[in-house]
Amino acid sequence: MKSSFSGWRYLWKSEDIRRKLIVTFVLLAIFRLAANVPAPGVNFAVLAEYRNLSTSGGGFLGFLDLLSGGTVSNFSLLSMGVYPYITAQIILQLLIPIIPALQRKMEEDPREARRWQEKWTYYLAVPMAALSAIGQINIFNSSSLNSPVGQKILEFGFSADLWLHSLTILVSMTAGTMFAIWLGELISEYGIRGQGLSLIIFAGIVSQMPKQLLSLLADKSTAVFMLIFTIVIIVLTVFAIVYVQQGRRNVPVMYPGRRMGSRMSMPVKGTLPLMVNLSGMIPLIFAGAILQFPAILASYFTSSTNADVASFFVSVQNFFSGSGTSNGGYWTLYFLMVVAFTFFYTSVLFDQQNYGDNLKKAGATVPGVHTGIPTQKYLSTVQRRITLPGAVFLGVIAIMPFLLGLLLKLLGLGAASTQTNVFLVSSSGLLIVVGVVRDTFMNIDAELKLHGYQDSLLVR
C-alpha cells in the first residue's frame, strides 16, 4: 500500500483526459456565470433586507441554497439548481417496484428501460421545476410579509394584471433549471463521464465556502477558536463520512467450477460486498423535500382574511422552516424522516439488483442458503441489518447543525449565526462534497487506467 502522486502528470499528458478536464472546467464556469443572472421582477432591496434577517442554517432558504449554490438567496434564474430533476429521478425510481408493468420492463430489457426512465425524468422535471418555482416564490413572499420587512420580494399572481408577468417569471426560472440540467449532461458526455449533475451541485456548494469562512471569522474575539473548531469538526466529519461510505459487509459466495477439457476445476470462493450506505445522500434530499412541502402549502393561506387561519398557517410555516436551535421538534422529525427513508430507499434499490436470481443464473450459491428466493431474502435481511448504522449516521449528519448550534450556544458563541458556518457549507453539503470528490477521483483513475497509465491518483 503506497500513495502515488506521479499520476497527476498524466492528467495533461493524455490529450483525451486533458480535453475532458478543460471541457468540465469551462462548463462549470458557464454555470457559475449563469447563476448570477437574476429572475425578472425581483425587488432586490427587499430581498437583501429579508436575507439579512434570515438565518442560512436550515429551512427552505438553506435547503435550496444547498443544492443551488446560493443562487436561491439571490433569486437567480438558476435558483432551483438541478433539484427538480433529482426529485423526478427519485419519484420514477420509487414507482418502478410499485407498478408491475414498469418492473417487468426493467427486467426484460434493462437498456431500453433506462432510456425510457431518462426520457420521462426530463419530462417530469419540467412541471416539477414550475411547481418548485411557484412554491419558492410564495414562501419567500409570505415569509417576507410576516417578517419585519413587511413587503413582497416579488409581485406574483395570476390576476388579470399580473398573469403575463408571472408567466414570464415561471418560464424563465423553469428554463434556468433545464439549462443547468443540460450543462450537467454536457459534462457527463464530453467532460468527466457520469459526473455532470454531481459536479454542478458540487460547484454551487463549494462556491459558498469563502463567504461562509469570512462570516465565521467576522467576530475577532472568537475567530481563532472558531477556526480551530471548524477544522477539527470538518476533519472528523470527513473521516466519518469516508469510513461509513467505504463500509462493506462481504457475504461469502461459492461460484461453480469450470470445465477445462476433460477435467472440472474446483469451485471458486468469492464474496458479495453489500454497502453500509447504499442510498448515498438521496435520503437527506428527499426527507428535506418532504418536510418543506407543508411550509409550501401553508404559504398559500398565510394571507387569509381570517386572522386565526392566517396565524395558524404562519405557525405551521415557521415550524417547518427549521431555522435556529430552538426548533428541536423540526430537527427530531428530520432525523426520523432521514432514518426511515434510508431504509425505504435502500430496500427499493436492493430489490432492483435482484441478487437471488442473478446468482442463481450464474450457478453461484451462498453457503447454507438455498438459491433463488431464499438467497434474496437472506441477503435482504443482511442488508437491513447493516443499513441501521448507515441510516443513523445519515440522520446524525442531517441534524449536525442543530447539535453544533446547541453546543455553541452553551459555550456562548452565537450558535444561531454560526451553526452552518462551522462546516463552511452545511453537514449535508459536506457529505455531498466528499462523495463527489471521491467519485470524481475514482472516475479519473479509471480513465488513466483505460489510457494505459498504471500509476494511480488513489491510494494503493
> Which residue, chain included where needed, has cell 427538480?
84
Strands 248-255 and 259-260: unpaired
In this predicted structure, the answer to whether residue 181 has a pLDDT above a threshold of 60 is yes
pLDDT of 178: 92
pLDDT of 330: 80
Residues in the chain: 460
pLDDT of 141: 79
For residue range 185-237, what is the model confidence (pLDDT) as tens digits? 999 888 887 778 888 888 887 877 777 777 777 777 777 877 888 888 888 88
pLDDT of 26: 93
Round to whole Å and give the CA distance between 122 and 85: 7
More confident residue, 318 or 353: 353
Rounded to 10°, the helix 223-245/373-398 angle is 180
Which range (13-17, 68-72, 242-246) has the least confidence?
Answer: 68-72
Round to whole Å and give the CA distance between 375 and 371: 5
What are 117's three cell numbers? 426512465
3-class DSSP state for residue 459?
Answer: strand
Residue 190 and residue 20 in contact, taking contact as beta carbons nearer than 8 Å: yes
Round to whole Å and give the CA distance between 59 and 48: 18
pLDDT of 418: 47
Which range (117-131, 144-158, 276-290, 418-432) has the least confidence?
Answer: 418-432
Q: Which residues, other chains included, contact 150 with Cβ-Cβ below 8 Å and sequence gap of 6+?
A: 144
Round to whole Å and give the CA distance between 119 and 304: 40
What are 270's three cell numbers? 468469492
Mean pLDDT, rounded, for 431-452 = 78
Which range (180-184, 278-282, 317-321) has the least confidence?
Answer: 317-321
Tell me the torsion sign for CA atoms 55, 59, 64, 66. Answer: positive
Strands 248-255 and 268-275: antiparallel
Q: How many CB atoms lie within 10 A of CB 305?
A: 6
pLDDT of 204: 80
Confidence of residue 153 (pLDDT cuts 50, 70, 90): confident
- Count Cβ atoms within 10 A of the Cβ of residue 24 and give its class: 0-12 exposed, 13-18 middle, 19 or more buried: buried
For residue range 364-409, what is the model confidence (pLDDT) as tens digits? 888 888 888 888 889 999 999 999 998 998 888 888 877 877 777 7
CATH number belonging to the domain at 11-207, selected among 1.20.120.420, 3.50.50.60, 1.20.120.1200, 1.10.3370.10: 1.10.3370.10
pLDDT of 4: 44
Q: Which CATH class is domain 211-425?
A: mainly alpha
Tell me the torsion sign for CA atoms 187, 192, 194, 195. Answer: negative
pLDDT of 57: 42
Mean pLDDT, rounded, for 245-268 = 75
Q: How many CB atoms lie within 10 A of CB 325?
A: 21
Q: What's the mean per-residue pLDDT of the chain?
A: 78
Round to whole Å and give the CA distance between 322 and 330: 6
Residue 446 and residue 440 in contact, taking contact as beta carbons nearer than 8 Å: no
pLDDT of 46: 80
Confidence of residue 126 (pLDDT cuts 50, 70, 90): very high
Round to whole Å and give the CA distance between 171 and 175: 6
Percentage of the chain beyond pLDDT 90 is 8
DSSP secondary structure, 262-296, as one string: TEEPPPEEEEEEEESSTTTTHHHHHHHHHHHHHHH
Q: Looking at this protein, which amino acid is placed at residue 334?
A: Y
Round to whole Å and give the CA distance between 15 and 189: 16
Q: Do domains 11-207 and 211-425 have the same CATH topology?
A: yes
Round to whole Å and give the CA distance between 314 and 320: 10
For residue range 42-89, what is the model confidence (pLDDT) as tens digits? 887 787 777 666 544 444 555 555 555 667 667 788 888 787 888 888
Q: Where are the domains of the chain?
A: 11-207, 211-425
DSSP secondary structure, 150-170, as one string: -S-SB----STTTHHHHHHHH
pLDDT of 171: 92
